[in-house]
């Protein structure tokens, strides 16, 4: 597993590693040049965003996808920057107005400029349209005008294959994408890390906090001396307590449980 991109050097190293594989897969795709038509661009972004992968996806421009030759895209008249992509995605009618997050990066490789669309991994899958997107300017080789990305169709990427633009993903893939949204593909500990980012959905009842949508996750702080405040252990408090207005120290244990039996996390606390 190649770690998430943090800076330009890591991105260059990542692209080199992917080129060295000599193939494409579910979270990376090579393109010789940028898309001529916006429908194909939108389709590729949606497919990459709707991946089972648990990491960011890459659409890498300026690489021949058969020979892996670095040809660059510095002379590509169809290049698009960050703002163009953001404006384009906001012009498309996505369900719930939830759109794929795309970061446009450019790196230098073998004397060429390589553009990388970083498709952020999120739990907002599946992404799909509520209205057809029709690119009127597209013209096929046979002279047919226009290309359409269909509303209510779920496109995804499986290994190195995208769902056809006039098709729909297999049911098993659609099911997996909905499970990804609701955190059902993760272990309980992985689910917990997601739920803790939603403090507004946690409710307290009789000293126990539970998630309103997933009440099997509970948080409880138990104090010394059977929760009797007057008997809480106050010996040898930490040094920083002596610079506080209230110098009393209370010791307890924070415990997070799953279905009330499995302790996912516990930590002794001092307040």
30 vs 39, 114, 138, 227, 239, CA distance in Å? 18, 11, 22, 60, 57
- Greater confidence, 183 or 32? 32
Mean pLDDT value across residues 131-140: 86
CA distance 266 to 269: 9
Tokens linked to 179: 């499970």
How is domain 8-181 classified at the architecture level of CATH?
Answer: 2-Layer Sandwich (3.30)
The reported pTM is 0.76
In the structure, what pLDDT confidence band is assigned to residue 157 with cuts at 50, 70 and 90?
very high
Tokens 């739990």 belong to residue: 123
For the chain, domain boundaries: 8-181, 188-270
Is the model's pLDDT at 239 over the cut of 80?
Answer: no
Mean pLDDT value across residues 5-20: 89
Tens-digit pLDDT profile for residues 182-236: 878 888 888 888 888 889 999 999 889 999 988 999 998 877 654 445 444 455 5
| Three-class DSSP category at 263 | strand
236 vs 199, 226, 232, 252, CA distance in Å? 33, 20, 12, 14
- Report residue 140: phi and psi, to 5°: -75, 170
């Amino acid at each position: 597993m190649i770690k998430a991109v943090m800076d330009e050097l890591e991105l260059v190293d990542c692209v080199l590693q992917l080129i060295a594989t000599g193939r494409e897969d579910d979270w990376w795709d090579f393109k010789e040049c940028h898309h001529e038509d916006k429908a194909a661009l939108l389709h590729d972004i949606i497919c990459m965003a709707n991946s089972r992968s648990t990491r960011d996806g890459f659409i890498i421009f300026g690489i021949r996808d058969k020979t892996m030759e670095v040809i660059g895209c510095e002379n590509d008249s169809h290049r698009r920057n960050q703002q163009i992509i953001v404006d384009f995605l906001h012009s498309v009618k996505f369900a719930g107005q939830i759109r794929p997050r795309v970061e446009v990066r450019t790196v230098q490789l073998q004397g060429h400029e390589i553009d990388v669309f970083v498709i952020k991994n999120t739990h907002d899958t599946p992404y799909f349209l509520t209205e057809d997107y029709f690119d009127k300017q597209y013209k096929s080789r046979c002279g047919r005008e226009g290309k359409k990305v269909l509303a209510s169709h779920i496109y995804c990427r499986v290994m190195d294959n995208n769902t056809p633009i006039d098709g729909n993903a297999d049911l098993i893939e659609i099911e997996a994408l909905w499970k990804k949204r609701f955190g059902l593909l993760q272990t309980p500990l992985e689910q917990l890390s997601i739920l803790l980012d939603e403090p507004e959905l946690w409710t307290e009842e009789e000293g126990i906090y539970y998630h309103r949508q997933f009440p099997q996750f509970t948080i409880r702080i138990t104090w010394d001396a059977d929760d009797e405040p007057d008997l809480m252990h106050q010996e040898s408090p930490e040094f920083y307590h002596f610079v506080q207005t209230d110098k009393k120290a209370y010791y307890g244990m924070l415990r997070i449980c799953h279905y009330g039996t499995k302790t996912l996390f516990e930590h002794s606390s001092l307040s």
